[in-house]
Structure 1
Amino acid sequence: MKNTVALSEVDRRLLDHLQRDCRISNQELAAAIGMSASACWRRVRALEEAGVISGYVALVDGERIGQRFSAIVHVMLQRHERHHLDEFLDALSRRPEVLQVFATTGEADYHVHVLCEDKDAYNAFLEEFLFRLPGVAQVRTNLILKSIKSTPRVPL
């Protein structure tokens, strides 16, 4: 389990602004928060070093670049031996079409969010990759018909 970092109100305001626009300049961010640019830079740097800010990304609209097939894949494992589990998770982490992997309770052991071009690409992902992983007992797919809410923003 990761250590929890206590956030001040200034930290929360900094994080809120950065989650909305991580391309904001340090001077603009400092002005928005009401602090000096040097103090702002030090606070942001401390949040990065503490692991609160783990990186910065551009959010790409998959549909606009032809990635229109989105699914949640429910994976049940037949074996939970450590080496099979490590191999399974390592293999999933290397696949570009795998956006998220969640270990869960309930019927499925893992829920995997997959995004690819079309059903043929998804079928190839299943047949040439997922079904060949050792320990995979059952796979069930739920197609995502429409995204209602999707945000990387963490509530502060």
Structure 2
Amino acid sequence: MPKTRLDDIDRKIIDALQIDGRMTAQQLADKVGLSASPCARRVRLMEDMGVITSYTAVIDQDLVDLPISVFASIKLERQRENELERFSAAITRWPEVVDCYLMTGQRDYLLRIVVRDLHAYERFLKEKLTRLEGVASIESSFALTQIKRSNRLPLEA
């Protein structure tokens, strides 16, 4: 998909929605200096273009009893297209994997896995990740403290 040209008002709308996706159309319009109707039209257009993909709630992991974040670096036996696709398809089915990136460098994938405790991670490893055909190695690192988390992109106006 080609890059979308956003003007300053579009960027203000996106920035405001990244901070509070639940604000009303009128609140958003007031914040960006438009009337409600043209503001809503711009939001709809950005949704249609795929710039705005969804709206969601950010949940505190600890308060829902999922305090463990594990970062797993995965190396595949081969990096052929069908092996990459097979791995990606499996990962998308596993709810424990909340982030997955295809990487450059020594490892092929970096995953963030969220679980209740070490036993749950061990179960995930034994029952899912290590059974996936084509995985050559797995390196796990456990997050001690989350310093920053953001879904807000650094848009410049």
TM-score band by shorter chain is: over 0.9
Answering whether residue 89 of structure 2 is matched by residue 86 of structure 1, we say: no
Superposition CA RMSD, Å = 0.9
TM-score by length of 1: 0.96
TM-score by length of 2: 0.96
CA distance in structure 2 between the aligned counterparts of 1:108 and 1:26, rounded to whole angstroms = 44
Which residue in 1 is equivalent to 2:142?
A: 143
Ranges in structure 1 where 5+ consecutive residues have no aligned partner:
none
- Matches of residues 23-42 of structure 1 in structure 2 within 5 Å? 23-42=22-41
Q: Report the CA distance between 1:85 and its aligned residue.
A: 2.2
Which residue in 1 is equivalent to 2:3?
A: 4
Answering whether residue 119 of structure 2 is matched by residue 120 of structure 1, we say: yes
One-letter amino acid of the structure 2 residue matched with residue 93 of structure 1 = T
Q: Report the CA distance between 1:3 and its aligned residue.
A: 1.4
- Matches of residues 41-120 of structure 1 in structure 2 within 5 Å? 41-120=40-119
Which residue in 2 is equivalent to 1:18?
A: 17
Classify the secondary structure of the residue corresponding to 1:142.
strand
Q: Report the CA distance between 1:31 and its aligned residue.
A: 1.2
CA distance in structure 2 between the aligned counterparts of 1:35 and 1:52, rounded to whole angstroms = 20
CA distance in structure 2 between the aligned counterparts of 1:91 and 1:25, rounded to whole angstroms = 38
CA distance in structure 1 between the aligned counterparts of 2:80 and 2:34, rounded to whole angstroms = 53
CA deviations over 1:86-107 (Å, ceiling 9, x no partner): 2211110111110111111111
Q: Report the CA distance between 1:80 and its aligned residue.
A: 2.4
Q: Sequence identity of aligned pairs in percent?
A: 38
CA distance in structure 1 between the aligned counterparts of 2:81 and 2:10, rounded to whole angstroms = 39
One-letter amino acid of the structure 1 residue matched with residue 41 of structure 2 = R
Ranges in structure 2 where 5+ consecutive residues have no aligned partner:
none
Classify the secondary structure of the residue corresponding to 2:73.
strand
One-letter amino acid of the structure 2 residue matched with residue 40 of structure 1 = C
